[in-house]
Amino acid sequence: MKKQINWGMIGCGDVTEKKSAPSFNQIDGSSLLAITNRTRKKADDYAGRHNIPMIYDSAEELLADPKINAVYVATPPSTHAEYAIQAMMAGKPVYVEKPMASTFAECRKMNEVAEKTGMPLFVAFYRRSMEYFIKVKELLEANAIGAPIFCRSSLFIPPREMGLPPDQLPWRVIPEISGGGHFHDMGCHELDILSFLLGEVAEVSGFAVNKGKLYLPEDTVIASIKFKDGLLYNGSWNFISPEDSACDEIMITGERGSLKFSCFGFTPIELSNEEGNQEFPIKSPDHVQLPMIKDVVGELQGVGESPSKGETAALVNQWMEKIISS
């Protein structure tokens, strides 16, 4: 009989509404049993809408409940380390939102506590479990384009904060809450999935500037990465682009062809090689974190393994810090 995984969720922001939280109750042997939030009124409303039976006034109360045997940390990055460490010290495995923490130093501390306590530490880089990106990996491993020789990506997004006064800016561009800006929030996904697809990273550098002055963090970033096998990558991110310049594209060029796909748009995967051109239209699931949460639950039940853990996720923070500080 499968072990029952009873989840407690700390934080109930927008990311949980559709992307993640509903998934916990759609997996055999898994249920979302309790939540807590810094605002009790919000927790009450959330629990009522999502049929969550228990509400706690604090993370400490939730973690003390013996019925809760796994914890989902869904707060902004500034408190990821705090709550994840508390949960692991309480003897509970943790699934924490991405990026893993505000800083690489916090990530290292989280991994140290995971090793000390023996508690599994998973991170919500959920693209690693999605059919779309697994297909890209399968094509690479099947030698569909030959050995990769170069990779590039571009993510250009129109500004969301035009005209907003400082006290109305979203938390994702307030560094003391998010750890950075939009690059920290979105670029981490691209860096992680590319390391999943292309292998270990050897060197990282980059440049970052704030051209739009809409908020404090950088809005324009370029990165250069050398993978351990010698493959080179160039990435560019701009979060103040005009609408007609919007772009979400990753291109891997190989010795015999190329693969083109997106990180966020789930456009059809395009394969070009000597056999011609093929497209693989694979839609994103309704709840994008469901495949990853299935893998996490499976590992906790001893019948599978999650591809996203603290060791790999911490490296993404390290790379982002090198890119921003270069």
Asked if the structure places residue 231 within a domain, the reply is yes
In a shared domain, residues 27 and 145:
no
Residues 301, 136 contacting (CB under 8 angstroms): no
Asked if the structure places residue 318 within a domain, the reply is no
Residues 5, 69 contacting (CB under 8 angstroms): yes
Owning domain of residue 137: 131-284
In a shared domain, residues 240 and 171:
yes
In a shared domain, residues 276 and 303:
no
In a shared domain, residues 56 and 165:
no
Strand 54-56's sheet: what is its strand order?
54-56, 30-36, 5-10, 70-73, 94-96, 121-123
Amino acid at 322: K
10-residue mean pLDDT series, the chain (326 residues): 93 95 97 96 95 97 98 98 98 98 98 98 98 98 98 97 94 97 98 98 98 97 98 98 97 98 98 97 97 98 96 98 92
Name the residue among 171, 166, 133 with its Cα closest to residue 267. Answer: 133
Asked if the structure places residue 168 within a domain, the reply is yes
Asked if the structure places residue 57 within a domain, the reply is yes
User: What pLDDT was estimated at residue 2?
Assistant: 80
In a shared domain, residues 173 and 40:
no
pLDDT tens per residue, range 133-169: 999 999 999 999 999 999 999 999 999 999 999 999 9
Domain of residue 72, CATH code: 3.40.50.720
Alpha helix ranges (H) inside 173-304: 175-178, 182, 188-198, 290-300
In a shared domain, residues 239 and 272:
yes
Asked if the structure places residue 322 within a domain, the reply is no
User: What pLDDT was estimated at residue 220?
Assistant: 98
In a shared domain, residues 137 and 266:
yes
Asked if the structure places residue 180 within a domain, the reply is yes
Between CA 325 and CA 283 the distance in angstroms is 36
Structure tokens at 27: 């997996």
Between CA 298 and CA 292 the distance in angstroms is 10
In a shared domain, residues 89 and 101:
yes
Asked if the structure places residue 314 within a domain, the reply is no
In a shared domain, residues 159 and 269:
yes
Split into its structural domains, the chain has a count of 2
Amino acid at 11: G
Name the residue among 39, 33, 41 with its Cα closest to residue 63. Answer: 33
Find the helix or strand (DSSP H, E) in which 71 lies: strand 70-73
Asked if the structure places residue 324 within a domain, the reply is no
pLDDT tens per residue, range 169-191: 999 999 999 999 999 999 999 99
DSSP bridge pairs for 36? 10, 56
User: What pLDDT was estimated at residue 67?
Assistant: 97
Name the residue among 91, 76, 64 with its Cα closest to residue 37. Answer: 76
Q: What beta strand segments (E) does the chain contain? A: 5-10, 30-36, 54-56, 70-73, 94-96, 121-123, 148-156, 201-209, 220-227, 232-238, 247-254, 257-261, 269-273, 276-280
In a shared domain, residues 173 and 294:
no
In a shared domain, residues 169 and 247:
yes
Structure tokens at 212: 């739009």
CA angle 248, 253, 256 (to 5 degrees): 145
Structure tokens at 195: 């390391």
**pTM for this model (two decimals):** 0.96
Amino acid at 3: K
Domain of residue 233, CATH code: 3.30.360.10
31, 36, 140 from 196: Cα distances, Å: 29, 33, 12
In a shared domain, residues 169 and 186:
yes
Name the residue among 154, 155, 152 with its Cα closest to residue 253. Answer: 152
